[in-house]
Amino acid sequence: MSIRMGRLACFKATLVGTFAWLILNSVAVVLAGDYQDGMDAYRRQDYAMAFTKLTKAAEPPVVKPSREEFIKITRQNHPEMSDAAIVEAWDHLFGHQAELTRALAAVMVAQMYDVGQGIPQNQAQAAQWYMKAAVADIPIAQYNLGLLYFTGNGVQKDFVLAYMWLNLAARGEPEAVKWRDKIGGFMTPAQLAEANTLAREWKPSR
């Protein structure tokens, strides 16, 4: 399978593959607001609306209160809410759940740029959006970002970074193993050691 066809196949499987990975890791994704609207628009092939909504959904909040501040304010304004419900609301709006939702939105925007889905193809933009999701530990974003570093499409070709991202993606994307090992065949022992060290020391952005 060519790299181009591989990315197209991954694009078609984004919803299934990404959600399967999240389910396997017992993560409940909050499908609400702009993200839900964007996914609904994408399914009905309204790609302009999908792009607008998903781009907005991927943006971080302008203001992010601490969990303690949020609990205090919410208690004052909604005394009927339990502490557990308030904490859950904070997580959905500002915590891990919200970060995952933004990362999934970024994956969709990246894929649309990558293959020109309803917008002009722009792999430099695709790389930037894949990075937003890759640093949040979304395997399909790490996989596609690794392929871009391998081919030099949208980014400067870099076998070390390609290998690193594919190595990380291999935990959730089996196809990444094949490409990682293929790239490894072009690398020197020093490059392989550097890439493995980077992957081993890498931590997701939370």
The CATH number of the domain where 166 resides is what?
1.25.40.10
Task: Take residue 184 and report the two structure tokens written for it.
Answer: 């490894």
The SS3 of residue 5 is: helix
* Domain presence at residue 191: yes
Considering 11-15, 134-138, 159-163, the range whose residues carry the highest mean pLDDT is 159-163
pLDDT at 81: 87
What are the angstrom distances between the C-alpha of 44 and each of 26, 37, 115? 28, 11, 18
* Domain presence at residue 197: yes
* Domain presence at residue 28: yes
* Domain presence at residue 80: no
* Domain presence at residue 105: yes
pLDDT at 116: 94
Report the domain count for the chain. Answer: 1
Comparison of pLDDT for 44 and 26, the residue scoring more: 44
* Domain presence at residue 81: no
With vertex at residue 174, the alpha carbon angle to CA 186 and CA 43, rounded to the nearest 5 degrees, is 120
* Domain presence at residue 111: yes
What is the value of pTM for the model shown?
A: 0.76
Domain enclosing residue 178, as ranges? 3-60+95-201
For residue range 84-104, list pLDDT tens digits in order.
888 887 777 777 778 888 999
Largest CA distance in the chain: 63
* Domain presence at residue 15: yes
For residue range 125-153, list pLDDT tens digits in order.
999 999 999 999 999 999 999 999 999 99
